[in-house]
Amino acid sequence: MNQLLFFSGVYYPTSPLVLHHLLQIYAHLHESENDQNLIDVVYPMKLKFLKYWENIPLLYSFAFILDPRAKMRGLFNVLVILKENIGVDYSSYYASVKTELYKLFAKYDSKFGAAKNRRAAHPAGQTGKRK
């Protein structure tokens, strides 16, 4: 299936898949740069790829992390692979993703954590009525 079609799916979540497919797209570009028929086209395509994907939007990183198959360790591994392939150091990006994710969780917890604590005070099946 064409790699770009994965990004436009409507019946399955596409955001967690973006980083996987970015790696695949870059691998195809890298493999094609030695093809004598494509050499004049691949170099500008790689530059355009770097222009758009050197700075990965937080949304894609959050979606990737929230995918149960990937998590934070998976993001770290993908960023290491990207660094090895395209030469961009993502260590500060990884730290900022982690910081922003913790901030987002703290905001969520401050808003909805009280509701969780209230539910825990009344175990399921108990109505609070005395006999």
What is the pLDDT, as a whole number, of residue 95? 96
Supply the mean pLDDT for the chain: 83
The alpha carbon dihedral of 81, 86, 90, 94 has a sign of: negative
64-66-70 Cα angle (round to 5): 55
- What are the two backbone dihedrals, phi and then psi, of residue 54, each rounded to the nearest 5 degrees? -65, -40
Instruction: Give the model confidence (pLDDT) of 29-63 as tens digits.
Output: 988 988 889 989 999 999 998 898 889 999 999 99
What range does the domain containing 42 cover?
Answer: 3-118
pTM above 0.85, yes or no: no
pLDDT digits (tens, 9 = 90+) for 69-89: 899 999 999 999 989 988 889
Query: 123 in a domain, yes or no?
Result: no
CA distance 124 to 126: 6
DSSP 3-state of 75: helix
Instruction: Please indicate, yes or no, if residue 127 is contained in any of the structural domains.
Output: no
Residue 76 lies inside a defined structural domain of this protein: yes
Say which residues have a Cβ less than 8 Å from residue 22's Cβ, sequence separation at least 6: 53, 82
Tell me if 72 is assigned to some domain: yes
Position 131 in a domain: no
Q: Would you say residue 128 lies in a domain?
A: no
Q: Is residue 93 part of a domain?
A: yes
Q: How many domains does the chain have?
A: 1
Cα–Cα distance for residue pair 88/86, rounded to 1 Å = 6
Confirm whether 124 is domain-assigned: no
CA–CA gap between residue 7 and residue 37 (Å, rounded): 28
- Residue 70: what are its φ and ψ, rounded to 5°? -110, -65
